[in-house]
Structure 1
Amino acid sequence: MPVSRSDTDRKKRRGKALRISAAFAVLLGLAGYAVTHYVTGGVGPARCIVRSPGEGAVDYEIEPDQAANAATIAAIASQRDLPKEAVTIALATAMQESGLRNLDHGDRDSVGLFQQRPSQGWGNEEEAMDPVIAAGKFYDHLEQIEGYTQIPLTDAAQRVQLSAHPEAYAKHEANAKLLANALTGGRAAAFHCTAGYKGPSTKAGSPEKLREQLVREFGRDVLPAEARRASATTGAGSGRSAERQREIVIPAGADERGWELAYWAVAHSAGLRIAEVSFQGHVWDAVTSEEGWHESGDGAPVPDDDAAVTIRLTTGQ
């Protein structure tokens, strides 16, 4: 049946209308991005950066959720007083198994950071999906390997994981070492995260939640008894008094311990609504997070001992 001229014209008009609609949608998207960028002072995607030592070295970048999981893995090792090599092995394993993401799926019934299988004795699915418990179970198995710090990383990881591809862990060793060295406090001001925007948070952080997570990951001794008992104030106070209610001060006592705690706080800053972290005269804050760590500039002397990490939560709007 021949196509009439009117049918052809209608098709042309319909096609033109669709092209106009598509172009308009693209313009709306660009306009929305521009407005968001202007209002928030956008500075690019949120990311976490490990500064590599030496001139010309390449920095290592990961996403905030990956950094938070890595910091948890390092914290559990710290609670158990395990060596840096244990953190490196655990991080390389999680990099290979899940990309440092807490996956709810995998091969057969594998889930979580380490793709642990409930059917193979790694606990139930809820436990395997809990980064704290999953890391603990990984270290349980690692510690049973005699001399695990002296054998190749890929061998140690394989003896825990029983992977079908044991050689795969080796490719992550360099980045795992770099990240482990940072998260265990090996270098000052070597790790920071960017918020992906400039501007105040619209949601207040919870001191109770911060304390609970610190104790769960580092152990009860991470906070003084009075700090563990302290509770968040709801609606009371104003000015500097209210601001202090959202500050958590953690005794460090040594540079490596202090940076370990400071980096943990920065890595968890998005989830815990942390606005600022300070230690030994260095400050990281969410508003200027693209700049990394900077000196406090208040002129106060930095103590040689009995140092503390101060974490300040967002107050919301």
Structure 2
Amino acid sequence: MPQPSHQPLQGTRAPRGRRTRWTAALLALLTVVGYVVFVDWTGSHGLDCFVEANGTRLGLQQPQAANAATIGAVASSRDLPERALTIALATAMQESKLHNIKGGDRDSLGLFQQRPSQGWGTAQQIMDPVYSASEFFDELVKIPGYSRLPLTAAAQRVQHSGFPQAYAKHEADASMLAAALYGRAPSLSCRVPSGGSAGDPAAVRQRLAREFGAQVLERQGTTDGTPADVPGAAAPSTTPKDTDGPTVTVPGDAVADPTDEDATQHGWALAQWAVAHAPQLRIAEVAYRGRVWRAKESGSGWVKDPSRPGHSYGDVRITVEH
């Protein structure tokens, strides 16, 4: 009598194999979808900071935004026109993609790929973004009428690049970023992680003074932006508020009228600088003129501050993790 076979029937193997393949494919699809959602919520694709203007969006990695904000602060400390910042940003975009890189062509270093052998300073100095930006502007302002020159011509006079026309392709992005960093178009926001170690308000003040100049912390009027020589106004003080616990309060408005866009440019420049440097300085919240950015909700960008009406304060309030 024939013995029963212990081999599985051929007719039952194919459906089981198809089910396995379908299951594997479904798991792969869910993995991809999950990753896309994760990237959308966390910015893990690397573009954590954004500037938007006139329907155009410029994405930056957070270190790029921080370096750009530092260049902007140095330009502001020297009272340079926005055009100077645009030229500097376009140059750094081409030379280093706004990364403070440790190497390049021959002995080139840093944001602007400056060379110690060409008199730009020591390697350690050039790797300091504040120093390298200052050196760039030192050379730029020596060029007669630089602000009226084509960007490529002005940048080339400083850089002496082998590819001077390459700077031109960055002009539009650099111009949009400069407008944001100078506070003329307050549109820079970053998505950063919140929580973790506590921040240090003293470190924030020190960084502000180093990049914008010590005068940035000096109070020239009252906290609502009213000049101190207005009858009834409080006497001026040049001492920043150091008793606010985890919050650093910096004078923002340049003049009394908060509805004047020029009055709030300086404040927005400070506020967006703080957002760009939030991870390094452990900044949890930045508030100015009725808008607030919070690290724990940074995916939402700048939102209305329900706790304070829009024109009730002219200070920029930077609160660190605590």
**TM-score surpassing 0.5?**
yes
Aligned to 1:311: 318
Letter of the 1:214 counterpart: L
Aligned to 2:183: 185
Matches within 5 A, 1:120-135: 120-135=118-133
Q: What does the per-residue CA deviation read over 1:74-115, in whole Å, with 9 as the maximum and x for residues that have no partner?
A: 000000000000000000000000000000000000000000
TM-aligned CA distance change 1:299 to 1:125, over 3 Å:
closer
Aligned to 2:292: 283
Q: What does the per-residue CA deviation read over 1:211-236, in whole Å, with 9 as the maximum and x for residues that have no partner?
A: 111000001110034338x49xxxxx
Aligned to 2:75: 77
Q: What does the per-residue CA deviation read over 1:148-202, in whole Å, with 9 as the maximum and x for residues that have no partner?
A: 00010000000000000000000000000000000000123x110011x5xx411
CA–CA distance in structure 2, aligned partners of residues 43 and 77 of structure 1 = 32
CA–CA distance in structure 2, aligned partners of residues 289 and 168 of structure 1 = 34
Aligned to 1:248: 248
Q: What does the per-residue CA deviation read over 1:130-152, in whole Å, with 9 as the maximum and x for residues that have no partner?
A: 00000000000000000000010
The 8 Å contact of residues 49 and 189 in structure 2, kept in 1 or not, is answered as: yes
Structure 1 alignment gaps of length 5 or more: 1-22, 232-243
Root mean square deviation of aligned Cα: 2.2
Structure 2 alignment gaps of length 5 or more: 1-23, 219-237, 254-262
Aligned to 2:92: 94
Give SS of 2:149's match: coil
Q: C-alpha displacement at 1:252, in angstroms?
A: 1.3
Runs of 4+ in 1 over 4 A off after TM superposition: none
TM-score by length of 2: 0.77
Aligned residues: 260
Q: C-alpha displacement at 1:299, in angstroms?
A: 5.3
The 8 Å contact of residues 41 and 299 in structure 2, kept in 1 or not, is answered as: no
TM-score by length of 1: 0.78
Matching residue within 195, 202, 210 for 2:204? 210
CA–CA distance in structure 1, aligned partners of residues 303 and 195 of structure 2 = 21
TM-aligned CA distance change 1:209 to 1:128, over 3 Å:
same
Aligned to 1:227: 240
Give SS of 1:174's match: helix
Q: C-alpha displacement at 1:208, in angstroms?
A: 1.4
Aligned to 1:6: none
Q: C-alpha displacement at 1:301, in angstroms?
A: 5.3
Identity %: 47
Matches within 5 A, 1:1-317: 43-45=42-44, 47-53=48-54, 57-188=55-186, 190-195=187-192, 197=193, 200-224=194-218, 225-227=238-240, 230=242, 244-253=244-253, 254-298=263-307, 300=309, 302-303=311-312, 307-315=314-322
Q: Which has the higher contact order (CA 8 A, sep 6+)?
A: 1
Larger-Rg structure: 2
Give SS of 2:42's match: coil
Q: What does the per-residue CA deviation read over 1:294-313, in whole Å, with 9 as the maximum and x for residues that have no partner?
A: 1011253513xx71100000
